[in-house]
Amino acid sequence: MKYASQAVAKPYFIAAIGLFVGQILFGLILGLQYVVGDFLFPEIPFNVARMVHTNLLIVWLLFGFMGAAYYLVPEESERELFSPKLALAMFWIFLAAGALTILGYLLVPYARLADMTGNALLPTMGREFLEQPTITKLGIVVVALAFIYNIGMTVLKGRKTAVSLILLMGLLGLAVLFLFSFYNPENLVKDKFYWWWVVHLWVEGVWELILGAILAFVLIKTTGVDREVIEKWLYVIIAMTLITGIIGTGHHYYWIGTPEYWQWWGSVFSALEPVPFFMITVFAFNMVNRRRRDHPNKAATLWALGTAVMAFLGAGVWGFLHTLSPINYYTHGTQITAAHAHMSFYGAYVMIVLTIISYAMPMLRGRKAANSERSQVLEMWSFWLMTVSMVFITLFLTGAGILQVFLQRFSDNPQPFMVVQDKIALFYWMREVAGVVFLIGLGCYVASFFVGSRDTERALSAAGQEPAAA
């Protein structure tokens, strides 16, 4: 580690992994409830488990992004973090707010939670992904402001690089767009219209800048390719992201009561959204092929390449599948959507966070540039188990989705929703099995942190050094 203050990234990464485990456990509960309808009812109803699954996902990804920023910004800026104390304080506030919110979902009926937290004063609750009580949302704003201040001051006072500036732009965009979660108009069309400014403009806009910056950082470090080359790629990628992604929001405006021109704007611009994702794939492979050094952390390089491939498949290919309005007319809100949602979130954002954790954690734990061979082998096993099972989850949901669209919306005598759900139950069982394999992969991932320090110690003592505290 070059700067002592980078250490604040460590609790952020640990919290991210802990919440990730929780997210997957709730995913498995949901998957089982799909086929065993009264599983855990009334203790954990489907709507509550779903909210916990998706909110944990968002929260742990945010922990991951913040950890990534605290780790890479000092190194890019060539100075210590502006205030490590503030970063640590915000860590505990964010963790406490997140834990209380999840407990609130699980222990209190949602309507009562809304009453208890003063939702009547400033109603923001009840919308998918934005279910958090208004006070939690205010807490998120406070944490985000403190975080941006801390990162912003570090960047401004230090060396400015394309990586740190693009990361900062992405993080600022994330915070500013979140403010639309406080706008909750009575008119349902307006409500949905601006809801997508948070949800779509996050994942297909500003988060892509964060992804690009983190990926570029890891590639600079692991390949040794000139920063200038990597920065040029980064500029073109983020330009294409914004050119296609902003107006691409229109692919959510087809059926919510907005003017008809959105059919064209949404279809044309979002059909181009796969372009930046494809450029990310070409970029990552190119840089690794042109590498000037063989970095000992093989696992981190594998995660970086995996992100580049899976983000393109999940967002680019599975997004394109249903983005043209005449197709979306049939697929809207079906298992096709869920298939895309899983592979894109996993491929782009889960994997980029695991990439930076894989790269940074060995250093944060005083293990030099990489974990032991044994630990890396286990981590690579976890990469393949999680990634391959996510491919299967996606394929099973796509199968379910195609049948669902056909039986429920396309055939000559369309059948009711629940009748169709019964007919495609086999796909849901197979999804659940793939989900269990995913959990096993995640178990290997967690286990890899506890493996192999002995090898490190042996190597260090052979070199006549004291082993650093793990």
Q: What is the binding site for Fe ion (CB under 5 A)? A: 200, 204
Give the one entry of Fe ion, ligand HEM, none that residue 323 binds, where binding means its C-beta sits below a cut-off of 5 to 8 angstroms depending on kind.
ligand HEM
* DSSP, res 468: P
Q: Does 55 bind ligand HEM (CB under 6 A)?
A: no
Structure tokens at 132: 């958090």
Q: Give the residue, chosen from 56, 225, 315, 356, that forms a contact with ligand HEM under the rule CB under 6 A.
A: 315
Q: Give the residue, chosen from 7, 19, 53, 356, that forms a contact with ligand HEM under the rule CB under 6 A.
A: 53
Q: Does 424 bind ligand HEM (CB under 6 A)?
A: no
| CB-based contacts of 5-8 (< 8 A; 24+ apart in sequence) | 5/70, 5/74, 5/80, 5/81, 5/84, 5/87, 6/70, 6/71, 6/74, 6/75, 6/81, 6/360, 6/363, 6/364, 7/84, 7/364, 8/70, 8/81, 8/84, 8/87, 8/88, 8/91
Rg (Cα) of the chain, in Å, rounded?
Answer: 22
Distance of closest approach, residue 213 Cβ to Fe ion, in angstroms? 21
Amino acid, single-letter form, for residue 33: Q
Q: Does 50 bind ligand HEM (CB under 6 A)?
A: yes
Q: Tokens 């403190």 sit at which residue?
A: 146
Give the one entry of ligand HEM, Fe ion, none that residue 431 binds, where binding means its C-beta sits below a cut-off of 5 to 8 angstroms depending on kind.
ligand HEM
Residue window 438-457: x/- pattern of binding to ligand HEM, with contact defined by CB under 6 A: x-------------------
Distance of closest approach, residue 199 Cβ to Fe ion, in angstroms? 7
Distance of closest approach, residue 157 Cβ to ligand HEM, in angstroms? 32
Smaller CB distance to Fe ion: residue 75 or 204?
204
Q: Does 28 bind ligand HEM (CB under 6 A)?
A: yes
**Alpha carbon 142 to chain centroid distance?**
21
The answer to whether residues 364 and 466 touch, using CB atoms and an 8 Å cutoff, is no
Q: Give the residue, chosen from 88, 337, 406, 430, that forms a contact with ligand HEM under the rule CB under 6 A.
A: 337
User: Rounded CA gap, 442 and 451, in Å?
Assistant: 15
Give the one entry of Fe ion, ligand HEM, none that residue 197 binds, where binding means its C-beta sits below a cut-off of 5 to 8 angstroms depending on kind.
none
Peptide bond into 467 cis (omega under 30): no
Q: Give the residue, chosen from 17, 57, 209, 234, that forms a contact with ligand HEM under the rule CB under 6 A.
A: 57
Q: Does 381 bind ligand HEM (CB under 6 A)?
A: no
Cβ atoms within 10 Å, residue 452: 19
Structure tokens at 302: 């594998």
Evaluate the CA torsion angle 388, 394, 400, 403 in order and state its sign: negative
Q: Which of residues 245-304 bind ligand HEM (CB under 6 A)?
A: 251-252, 270, 273-274
Q: Tokens 């208004």 sit at which residue?
A: 134
Give the one entry of Fe ion, ligand HEM, none that residue 55 binds, where binding means its C-beta sits below a cut-off of 5 to 8 angstroms depending on kind.
none
User: Rounded CA gap, 447 and 378, in Å?
Assistant: 8
Smaller CB distance to ligand HEM: residue 155 or 341?
341
Number of helical (H) and strand (E) elements in the chain, helices listed first: 20, 0
* DSSP, res 160: -
Of 159-167, 329-337, 357-365, 406-414, which segment contacts ligand HEM by CB under 6 A?
329-337
Structure tokens at 450: 């506890």
The answer to whether residues 368 and 353 touch, using CB atoms and an 8 Å cutoff, is no
* DSSP, res 127: S
Of 46-54, 72-80, 130-138, 224-232, which segment contacts ligand HEM by CB under 6 A?
46-54
Structure tokens at 283: 């970029």
User: Rounded CA gap, 43 and 405, in Å?
Assistant: 32
- The total number of residues shown for the chain amounts to 470
Q: Which of residues 93-132 bind ligand HEM (CB under 6 A)?
A: 128
Query: DSSP H helical segments within 124-273, as ranges?
Result: 134-157, 162-178, 188-201, 207-223, 227-248, 262-271
Q: Does 348 bind ligand HEM (CB under 6 A)?
A: yes
Of 9-17, 164-172, 316-324, 445-453, which segment contacts ligand HEM by CB under 6 A?
316-324
Binding-site size for ligand HEM (CB under 6 A) equals: 42
Q: Which of residues 126-165 bind ligand HEM (CB under 6 A)?
A: 128
Q: Give the residue, chosen from 12, 60, 345, 445, that forms a contact with ligand HEM under the rule CB under 6 A.
A: 345
* Sites of contact with ligand HEM (CB under 6 A): 24, 27-28, 30-31, 34, 50, 53-54, 57, 128, 203-204, 251-252, 270, 273-274, 311, 315-316, 319-320, 322-323, 328, 332-333, 337-338, 340-342, 344-346, 348, 350, 431-432, 435, 438
